[in-house]
């Protein structure tokens, strides 16, 4: 590596550190004082960077929020995928339920994160982002496995994609309402019914 490459590498590392600091500051502030009460000035002050630096990475605080949700959701999905693979389940439907059960339990065990995510585990947002970045390779893998299996069962590609969208949106909304609000009851009571409905959605 020549001096020019080393300099570029150092600049890249500094950028990553600043971005990480902004993510960390935003996450902490959003959780502790709420999204609406958090200003960009609060974020940059906590991160220890200039306000202009913020706009190198994010359009506004809602852009930061969306990217935070994406990162946190992706982490949960990656962990769920790993656990599902390690479980060595042969049946596709059982794999789907195991995967979703892992995601639900992860959210149940992290109430603050669930409050931040709210009902915003949006597969539309997630899918758009993962198509562009290498760090979301596992996310693409989840999509491909799911859609390909539904196509094998007789669905069209469009129907398979819409089914995936509906399941993720349904799980996100149900998790928030039952875990945070305890409405109409708790998540453990709702879960068997939720899974029954999801299985029905997977049938042709």
- Do the Cβ atoms of 103 and 80 come closer than 8 Å? yes
Assigned token pair, 144: 């491909």
Under DSSP, the state recorded for 58 is -
At residue 196, the pLDDT reads 97
Q: Do residues 115 and 183 touch, judged by C-beta distance below 8 A?
A: no
Q: What does CATH list as the number for 63-202?
A: 1.10.357
Give the CA dihedral 176, 181, 186, 191, nearest 10 degrees: -20
Place of tokens 């009571």: 189
pLDDT value at position 155?
93
Q: So where are the chain's domains?
A: 1-58, 63-202
pLDDT value for 66: 84
pLDDT score for 127: 57
> Any idea which residue has 């974020």 for tokens?
43
**pLDDT averaged per 10 residues in sequence order, the chain, 204 residues:** 58 84 94 91 95 94 87 84 92 94 93 75 54 64 86 92 87 90 94 96 86
pLDDT at 57: 93
3-class secondary structure, 154:
coil
pLDDT value, residue 15:
84
Q: How far apart are CA 129 and CA 63, in angstroms?
A: 12
CATH of 1-58, one of 1.10.10.60, 3.40.50.300, 3.40.50.10380, 3.30.479.30: 1.10.10.60
Q: Are 67 and 27 in contact (CB under 8 A)?
A: no
Q: pLDDT at position 68, please?
A: 87
- From CA 110, how far away is CA 106, in angstroms rounded? 6
């Amino acid at each position: 590596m020549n001096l020019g490459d080393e300099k570029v590498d150092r600049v890249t590392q500094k950028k990553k550190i600043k971005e990480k600091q902004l993510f960390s500051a935003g996450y902490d502030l959003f959780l502790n004082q709420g999204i609406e009460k958090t200003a960009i000035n609060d974020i940059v002050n906590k991160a220890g960077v200039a306000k202009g630096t913020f706009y190198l990475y994010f359009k506004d605080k809602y852009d930061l929020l969306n990217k935070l949700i994406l990162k946190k959701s992706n982490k949960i999905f990656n962990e769920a995928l790993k656990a599902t693979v390690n479980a060595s389940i042969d049946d596709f439907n059982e794999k789907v339920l195991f995967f979703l059960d892992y995601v639900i339990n992860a959210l149940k065990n992290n109430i603050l994160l669930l409050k931040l995510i709210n009902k915003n585990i949006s597969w539309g947002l997630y899918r758009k982002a993962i198509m562009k970045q290498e760090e979301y390779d596992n996310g693409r893998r989840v999509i491909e496995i799911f859609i390909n299996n539904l196509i094998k069962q007789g669905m069209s590609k469009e129907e398979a994609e819409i089914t995936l969208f509906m399941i993720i949106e349904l799980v996100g909304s149900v998790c928030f309402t039952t875990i945070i609000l305890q409405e109409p009851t708790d998540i453990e009571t709702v879960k068997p019914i939720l899974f029954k409905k999801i299985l029905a959605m997977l049938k042709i």
